[in-house]
Structure 1
């Protein structure tokens, strides 16, 4: 006999709810460990995107473990599309939050001011090709 609480759900989670909660907790702990220096508000903004990307990649790669199936993440256009969409999204958010100061990520500390424009252009090239690699 299943006991229902006031909200209409089960008081004892079933297997699927336990799996979803396990994945959610795993990704949440991973985000907290990897980007620990940021405030909780920033982590909460980007957590849904990271969770969706993680679960998409997890289940598409697990799909390849089934005999006679095709792993879509092995296809070049899928990985390129994911890479470009995340790259463009991060760049847009970076410019929205920081303006042109976003370009200062490519300047090491203590660089002479006359070299700054040259170094920014030089570092933008690998930054743009990072999505391809």
Structure 2
């Protein structure tokens, strides 16, 4: 598991990567065991509730944003403007990237909820 985390987090030293390992490992094990719980007959998974998945994605989003600002300051916002963008296009691209950054949280929470919800697609077909 530690090797997987080291592969996914690039550009940081091994010492810094190991600081993020407990958070990633706890999130992974929570999702693993809560999703496996749904495989037990007459049971359900807690990730089939929209507020659980939304709360999990928002808390991770807020945590990553706080850690990003603590480690990088305002330079954390540099991901909103890729290198080589023409200056007249910059305001639109920054706005688009900012909207994308915020909606990623909603998207990830909704995807986990929809995948874990039994017979979710039947409600929309019928």
SS in 1 for 2:106: coil
Structure 1's consecutive aligned runs of 4 or more residues displaced over 6 angstroms after TM superposition are none
Q: Which residue of 2 aligns with 1:86?
A: 60
Structure 1 length-normalised TM:
0.73
RMSD: 1.5
Which residue in 2 is equivalent to 1:107? 81
Structure that is richer in helix per residue:
2
- 2: distance between equivalents of 1:111 and 1:123? 13
- Matched-pair contact (CA < 8 Å) for 1:106–1:119: yes
Q: CA deviation at 1:115?
A: 4.3
Q: Distance in 2 between matches of 1:70 and 1:48?
A: 26
Cα displacement (A) at 1:45: 1.1
TM-score (norm 2): 0.77
Quote the offset at 1:59 in angstroms: 0.8
Q: CA deviation at 1:118?
A: 4.0
Provide the rounded CA distance (Å) in 2 between the counterparts of 1:60 and 1:77: 14
Q: Which runs of 5+ in 2 are unaligned?
A: 108-126
Q: Quick check: which has more Rg, 1 or 2?
A: 1
Give the superposition deviation at 1:67.
0.3
SS of the aligned residue for 2:40 comes to coil
Highest RCO, 1 vs 2 (Cα 8 Å, sep ≥ 6): 2
Helix, strand or coil: the match of 1:101? helix
After superposition, the C-alpha distances for 1:91-133 in whole angstroms (9 at most, x for unaligned) are 1111111111111112121124454444322310110111000
> 1:132 is paired with a residue of what secondary structure?
helix
1:56-76 deviation digits (Å, cap 9, x = unpaired)? 011111111110001101111
